[in-house]
Chain A
Amino acid sequence: METLFFSLVAAIAIISSILVITNKNPINSALSLIMTFFCLATLYVMLEAHFMAAIQIIVYAGAIMVLIVFVIMLLNLKSESGGRTNHALFLGVMTGVLLLIQTWYLLWRSSLTGTKGVVDSALIAKVGHTELIGKSLYTEFLLPFEITSVLLLVAIIGAVILSKKKL
């Protein structure tokens, strides 16, 4: 049952992510991307990572994609007409093949040991996923977490300065 559901969600995710790049209409591409994010959130739920799933939808589907759709609407982008240029197609295929080789090489070289981490579904049910993430963010990964927040602050200030020439 679970495997069946997983295959269904995974299939939708793959189909919609292919639709993102094949659609000629920018809004339909954006919609497909939202669908992909939604499927990813479903997969997170299946991994009992409820907090991640909610954040995935709030941040990606609810905030970033709304901005993208907003920009597409504001610029009133029409469907792209002309055919694809050859060098773009070539570069895309090259990158794809390279990534595939890289993934395959890594999978082939490293052996899957099958060791499991400390976090399993029993622990998640007992402590709660949000609590687990919060705890590890503020103890084990405190420095990277704080650095990320400083980075975001810098980005915010940068955006303000770029958009407001006269301060």
Chain B
Amino acid sequence: MEILGLPLIYYGAMILKVLVAFVFVLLTVAYATYAERKIIGHMQVRIGPNRTGPIGLLQPIADGLKLFFKEEIIPAEASKFAFVLAPLVALITAFISFAVIPFGDTIEVMGYKVPLQIAAYADQTGTVFDLNIGVLYILAMASLGVYGIVLAGWSSNSKYSLLGGLRASAQMISYELAAGLAIVCVFMVSQSLSLQAIVADQAGLFGWYIFRNPFLFVAGILFFICSLAEINRTPFDLPEAETELVSGFCTEYSSMKYAMFFMAEYANMVTVCAVTTTLFLGGWHGPLPSVLNFIAKVYVLMFICIWIRATYPRYRYDQLMKLGWKVFLPLTLFLIMGNAFWITLFQK
């Protein structure tokens, strides 16, 4: 039985790939919450969760079950459609970026090549095709992510939610710009928008884009910081600053809808770390088998995210805007210029 010249087993392998990758990301998201509480606990000389299961390992499952059985409350004055839509948008846009991230080298199943990237396939000759605008796709999905938060803030019909939503949209637009410009530095070196090509170009330790030249090094760090701001992580978590805004845009949410925002937040963290790994840290290249390299790099970046959260206090709002528009934006423009000069002078 064949479809488009490829046997059915090939399609089975492709579907299995998608399922395994998705379940793995879901598990990572669930255990990121546990890791965060545990790591921050130890950093602050506490123990962290340790009651549910051995050393608290069942905590994420217990949390999920608890939230699942909570009563669902929709405020009487809320606009229902947008209120229900918002957590869905947040969750889907957080996960969907993963479709284009290559998490491993192409493997062979029964003589057919299977690229380890969800939105990619190989034809009969073994040439791998992936979305040739992969990076733009990630940027597009990241820019849609803001709607989840904005809609949540607006539809709840509460002061705190609205302020949280407004803050989030202003912040995300500001930092999206700098993050996008930092990625331009990558395009200039890779000369391709396809993530397969970008990863293939980074073979070897000094092939990693972050080690290519000083401008790319700064661009990589800048991209990571801007991404932290875009996904509202500390020190940029003003949309849910609990000292001023209760819990910002998700104040009025309860039960599974709240859990979805929570999952979206951690899924965003995983995605951002995966994107940074792919664009700047050589993707799946490294000493271990390809997938393990990728996972190790993503986990190190996630640890850094958590570490930052345990270390830094929150920015003030005017500082945040000043940093985005008056420091990061000119800096990225300068990096693009510098990168262009470096490429023409040294890499001809």
- Residues of A participating in the B interface, judged by any CB pair closer than 8 Å: 25, 27-28, 31, 34, 50-51, 53-55, 57-58, 61-63, 66-67, 69-70, 73-74, 76, 128-130
- Distance in angstroms from B77 CB to nearest chain A CB is 12
B186 close to A (CB within 8 Å): no
The A contact surface, by secondary structure, is: helix
Residue on A with the closest CB to B145? A62
B33 close to A (CB within 8 Å): no
B158 close to A (CB within 8 Å): no
Contacts A25-B79, A73-B162; A50 near B143 (Cβ below 8 A): no
Q: Is the CB of B144 within 8 A of A57?
A: yes
Contact mask B67-89 → A, CB, 8 Å, 1/0? 00000000000010110010000
Q: Is the CB of B82 within 8 A of A58?
A: no
Q: Is the CB of A73 within 8 A of B143?
A: no
Interface size of B as a range: 20 to 34
Bound complex: CA A137 to CA B173 (Å):
27
Bound complex: CA A66 to CA B147 (Å):
7
Of the A-B pairs whose beta carbons lie under 8 Å apart in the complex, a sample of 14, sorted by A's number, is: A25-B79, A27-B79, A28-B79, A31-B85, A31-B151, A54-B137, A58-B136, A58-B140, A61-B144, A66-B169, A73-B154, A73-B166, A76-B162, A130-B193
Q: Is the CB of B131 within 8 A of A69?
A: no
Contacts A25-B79, A57-B143, A58-B143; A69 near B150 (Cβ below 8 A): yes
Pick from B81, B139, B162, B173: contact of A28, CB under 8 Å: B81
Residue on B with the closest CB to A25? B79
Q: Is the CB of B154 within 8 A of A57?
A: no
Contacts A73-B162, A73-B165; A50 near B140 (Cβ below 8 A): no
Q: Is the CB of A62 within 8 A of B143?
A: yes
Q: Is the CB of A70 within 8 A of B166?
A: yes
**Could you say which residues of chain B place their CB within 8 Å of the CB of A67?**
173
CB proximity to A under 8 Å, residues B149-200? 150-151, 153-155, 162, 165-166, 169-170, 172-173, 176, 193
Contact mask B193-214 → A, CB, 8 Å, 1/0? 1000000000000000000000
- Residues of B participating in the A interface, judged by any CB pair closer than 8 Å: 79, 81-82, 85, 131-133, 136-137, 139-140, 143-144, 146-147, 150-151, 153-155, 162, 165-166, 169-170, 172-173, 176, 193
Pick from B133, B150, B154, B162: contact of A50, CB under 8 Å: B133
- Distance in angstroms from B246 CB to nearest chain A CB is 18
List of 3 A-B pairs having minimum Cβ-Cβ separation, nearest first: A62-B143, A54-B136, A57-B140
Bound complex: CA A129 to CA B136 (Å):
13
Residue on A with the closest CB to B139? A58
Pick from B82, B131, B143: contact of A63, CB under 8 Å: B143
Bound complex: CA A138 to CA B166 (Å):
39
Bound complex: CA A63 to CA B151 (Å):
15
**Could you say which residues of chain A place their CB within 8 Å of the CB of B82?**
27-28, 31
Bound complex: CA A34 to CA B82 (Å):
13
